[in-house]
Structure 1
């Protein structure tokens, strides 16, 4: 299936949050193909006189310079997972459907609305729009900014507008991907006894993963649930050949009380006796809700904080020494689904809450 072409219509920051989200969704921006959307975001922000706008690659950063005693970073990624026949966007009642509506173009729309309509906030603001969040950590645009332009990210507190149903979600899980490889011996399938079937031998690995009992752990009053799962399997060369190689990719989502090294050691323990090659990893982040800025944000937005299931860039902000929370209008349970959608009312409410926090 061919990818829809990006529209050439400029982003209109005067639209309400739902309509602006629809505009953003209709810019296809699968990871690695965010340039057109980054261009549109940059073009929409540069005319605003209260912002200084910079760009590095497909990452756009806009900042106020009002001399306030506190600086808050509002961050969101521009990319989406691959399109699943869910573009262009469409509205049904209160729901906006389309790739990226929930994860996380609704959050990006809130960022843009605040950037355009709150020229005199009670805190200095930094708006960060970055690429390649949905792929391996080495490509993450926020990571590139942290390494190459760290001064652009300086702040006292950060809000990542990842989908959280407009409730603060603290911290995040860590993530680790690894490949389990089993070799065998090729043979003609009509003489299978002369070979050693690598796919069949993978059954023990799959059995261990199916029987795995994930840990639940409470941290600062929030419960994190771990998971160790097979997410991909490859093997076989032809319909008449006994396969001599089978590879299973596993993904371990671990609570933030484990380090990456501890997570790797755990995976190797579960799969002891098999070849395990770690291909990608990123640490989690502790909730940090006791920090004064985080406590103030929770009080301002209301609701009962929850643990974030999934990895987000709060971990990267935490690594920079900046306390951060997840707070966005999307429903995290709808992320990456073919039927992904977001409530228009939730977008408006999230924008209202953040606006009130920044102007009261």
Structure 2
């Protein structure tokens, strides 16, 4: 070969490499990942109806030589706890959720673009599939130190994770590090906003709409209340440099029975995402802002009450000390604060939250494959970290 041809050859090889990049995973792992992800997404598992996917996933894990335990959360709803080897109480736990929001959207894989979609493809069956394949591909001495937990109910308040936290048969000693899976764009999350769920209930008095003075419109009272909350959320709620402003979403508003009837009852469900402060502080501010509306309603013979859907939680700081990852914070809630115990917490997953809960929920095959590699990195780091901590404790 003549030497003056070498630069041209290098350019040709470089161009070929760009068009044919090195595979992220070996074919065997990639095929297993796509198989697992497809089957999980193909099975509808809207919150409250997770039983079919629980059965399938439990059987799959057993075929992969995991010991599988089911924890009943409510009738026909179970958390899945699985581990490889003899250790039931492992130092590291890997977790995500198997329920989805409605409605169900069928699975698809566009082989030309390698885009994969369907309900749960991102939130969070993409994480579930990548986590399992990552653990399967680990050396046995690492794998035996890792357990899997897949919970129900994350999308509607986290009853699955709450149940695991209070489970009488929860493994002891408790896990020292937990890797949670949610769509994070392949980045390591350093924290997320807190949350507070509220429902405003208004009681009025029904009457014929031709004689409105004979009744008391619950819709009118609710409109006044929401108007006050609009003022409050415009700079009147806690914020922080790390998480930004506290936001209030009027998610569901209901009232009355017909256009020609003065509304007897009305309600509004609110989702408050805390950028700062505590749920109690925010709740107290909301109560104070609605005090005059409540007093006027009561004086007219009606009432306004504020119901807390749960205790909520303040902004959540999450560990992000593993090198090699881009970092971010997110505005959505997770099961991270619902798992009790003193443990390190990591949050990572493929796909973006911007398409989750939508009719175009999808991600690329390469995102799933990269997630397998990244989960392996996180799990190995967590196992090594907990092993070092154990050595220190034993000294």
TM-score range, shorter chain: 0.7 to 0.9
Q: Judging changes above 3 Å, is the alpha-carbon distance between structure 1 residues 227 and 193 closer, same or farther for their aligned structure 2 residues?
A: same
Write the deviation string for residues 44-99 of structure 1: whole angstroms up to 9, x where unpaired: 111334x33211121111123477x9822110100000115x22434371321211
Q: Residue deviations 1:117-162, cap 9 Å, x none? A: 325253611111111111134xx21211111133278211111111
Q: For 2:146, what is the secondary structure of its paired residue?
A: strand
Unmatched 5+ residue regions in structure 2?
A: 1-27, 73-77, 295-304, 382-395
The yes-or-no answer on 1:246 pairing with 2:248 is no
How far residue 250 of structure 1 moved from its aligned partner, in angstroms, is 1.4
Instruction: Work out whether residues 36 and 129 of structure 2, in 8 Å CA contact, stay in contact via their aligned partners in 1.
Output: yes
Q: Please name the residue that 2:39 is paired with.
A: 23
Quote the residue 1:146 is aligned against. Answer: 165
TM-score by length of structure 1 reads: 0.83
Partner-residue secondary structure (3-state), 2:253: strand
Task: Please state how far the C-alpha of 1:164 moved relative to its aligned partner.
Answer: 0.5
Contact 1:224 1:309 in 2 (8 A): no
| 2:250 aligns with one of 223, 226, 230 | 230
Q: Which has the larger radius of gyration?
A: 2
For the aligned residues, what is the CA RMSD?
2.7
Pair 1:198–1:227, CA change in 2 (3 A): same
Query: Taking structure 2 as the reference length, what is the TM-score of the superposition?
Result: 0.76
Q: Does the aligned pair in 2 maintain the 1:97–1:340 contact within 8 Å? A: yes
SS of the residue corresponding to residue 145 of structure 1 reads helix
Deviation of the 1:357 alpha carbon: 4.6
Change (3 A) 1:152 1:127: farther
Alpha-carbon distance between aligned partners in 2 of 1:226 and 1:250, rounded to the nearest angstrom: 13
Other-structure match for 2:69: 54
Query: What secondary structure, in the 3-state scheme, does the structure 2 residue paired with 1:112 have?
Result: helix
Q: 2: distance between equivalents of 1:64 and 1:225?
A: 43
Could you tell me which residue of structure 2 aligns to residue 311 of structure 1? Answer: 333
Whole-angstrom distance in 1 between the partners of 2:173 and 2:194: 22
Give the aligned partner of residue 301 of structure 2: none
Q: Which runs of no fewer than 5 residues in structure 1 stay unpaired?
A: 1-11
Q: Aligned partners of 1:39 and 1:240: how far apart in 2?
A: 50
| Distance apart, 1:224 and its partner CA | 4.2
> Displacement, 1:266?
2.9
Q: Which residue of 2 aligns with 1:271?
A: 290
Is the partner of 1:190 in helix, strand or coil?
coil
Q: Equivalent residue for 1:343?
A: 364
Instruction: Kindly report which structure 2 residues correspond to 1:122-271, keeping only aligned pairs within 5 A, or say none.
Output: 122=142, 124-137=145-158, 140-148=159-167, 149-151=169-171, 154-211=174-231, 212-213=233-234, 215-218=238-241, 222-255=242-275, 258-271=277-290
Aligned residue in 1 for 2:91: 71
Q: 1:36 and 2:56 equivalent?
A: no
The count of corresponding residues between Structure 1 and Structure 2 is 332
C-alpha change, 1:94 and 1:47, in structure 2 (3 Å) is closer
SS at match of 1:209: helix
User: Quick one: distance in 2 between partners of 1:13 and 1:33?
Assistant: 30
